[in-house]
Amino acid sequence: MQVKQVPILFVVSTLLGFSQNAVSQAYEVPVDDLEAITFAYADVLRSDPIVESIQEARPREVCRDITSTQSTGYENTTAGTLIGAIVGAAIGNQVGDGSGRRAATVAGAVAGGAIGREAAASNNPQGQRRSTRAECEVVDDYVERKEVVGYDVQYRFRGEVFSSRLSYDPGEKLRIRVAISPATP
């Protein structure tokens, strides 16, 4: 039994639904565009990283507690006013006699009531209201970081030294594309 050999390109193109003519046309290149291209390796002489400093803002919230004290006026000073009026009236009653005594008692009661009210207001912590509130703001802390953005590479190919800027570090060998075409006279 003799087995007929069929080219693999024909089998693949037939399986994929291409005709043999379409496959051969896909690989035709016009003669004018031909250029001798090959790949080779060059020895890397230097590879210097290109470093950029990048300022990065990192926002953070800073809060402070602010305490304020407000006077609520003369609240809860009734007892101090009454005690001051009684003491003032008793002292005023000791001064003078007759109608003068009554006037001194009334004046002592009024003055004692006023003094008692002020004393009660200044010694009364409930007469003052304290409040604490947080005051916040966003501030930016700037952090500097270094980032490698590329490499200045110097390499030797067939005795000549070339330089290129690459986005990666090539290591000891650099794969290069060599294109040769005739020079115009």
Confidence of residue 33 (pLDDT cuts 50, 70, 90): low
The tens digit of pLDDT for each residue in 74-100 reads 566 677 777 877 877 777 777 767 777
- 1 exposure class (CB count in 10 Å sphere: 0-12, 13-18, 19+): exposed
Q: Is the pLDDT of residue 18 over 60?
A: no
Residue 9 CA to residue 30 CA, distance in Å, equals 21
Q: What is the mean pLDDT of residues 2-6?
A: 40
The tens digit of pLDDT for each residue in 95-141 reads 767 777 777 777 777 887 788 777 777 666 555 677 888 889 999 99
CA-based angle 68:73:74, to the nearest 5? 140
Q: What is the mean pLDDT of residues 159-168?
A: 95
Residue 110 CA to residue 79 CA, distance in Å, equals 14
Q: Is the pLDDT of residue 27 over 50?
A: no
DSSP state letters, 85-118: HHHHHHHHHTSSSTHHHHHHHHHHHHHHHHHHHH
Contact 174, 29 (CB under 8 A): no
Q: Is the pLDDT of residue 184 over 50?
A: yes
Q: Is the pLDDT of residue 4 over 50?
A: no
Confidence of residue 21 (pLDDT cuts 50, 70, 90): very low
Query: Residue 31, CB half-sphere, CA atoms under 13 Å: how many?
Result: 0
Q: Is the entire prediction scored with pTM above 0.85?
A: no
Q: What is the domain partition of the chain in residue ranges?
A: 59-139
